[in-house]
Structure 1
Amino acid sequence: MTQNPIINNLYKKIEAQQAKGMKKYGTEIKTDSHSLKEWLQHALEETLDKAVYLETAIQKIEEAEKGQSI
């Protein structure tokens, strides 16, 4: 690992995500399990979920800046 705590934390999260996937699906990710289009569709769906999470966080910050609780 690296001395950078941020990078180390990312490594740990990647390992945890891999373990979560193994528990859920019983196998590691395989490049041939989906077509390229299916991989792109999945990535798009994950990106849209991320956009929802980001917008929610932004709105919570804006509420806090207006004096409302987070």
Structure 2
Amino acid sequence: MNAPLKITKVGNSAGLILPKEVLAHLNAAVGENLTVVFTTRGIELSAADPDFDQQMAAARDVMARRKRALRELAK
């Protein structure tokens, strides 16, 4: 699919209207969150991983408990 998307004003921000084909490809629906990653070619949109926040909380916990070991490994 190669269709132009129009940027519209939403309050003080800007927004894009995604066609239903794009939402279906992302396996996303209205009201859900998307993840944006900046790449060398532009941006990449993907459906937000529901486990991401839980995984990040676990990683932060390990980093806090093993701060000294991680500092040594970074040398």
- TM-score, length basis structure 1: 0.31
Q: Higher helix fraction: Structure 1 or Structure 2?
A: 1
- TM-score, length basis structure 2: 0.30
Q: Higher strand fraction: Structure 1 or Structure 2?
A: 2
Choose 1 or 2 for highest CA Rg. Answer: 2
Between the two structures, name the one with larger relative contact order (CA 8 Å, sep ≥ 6): 2
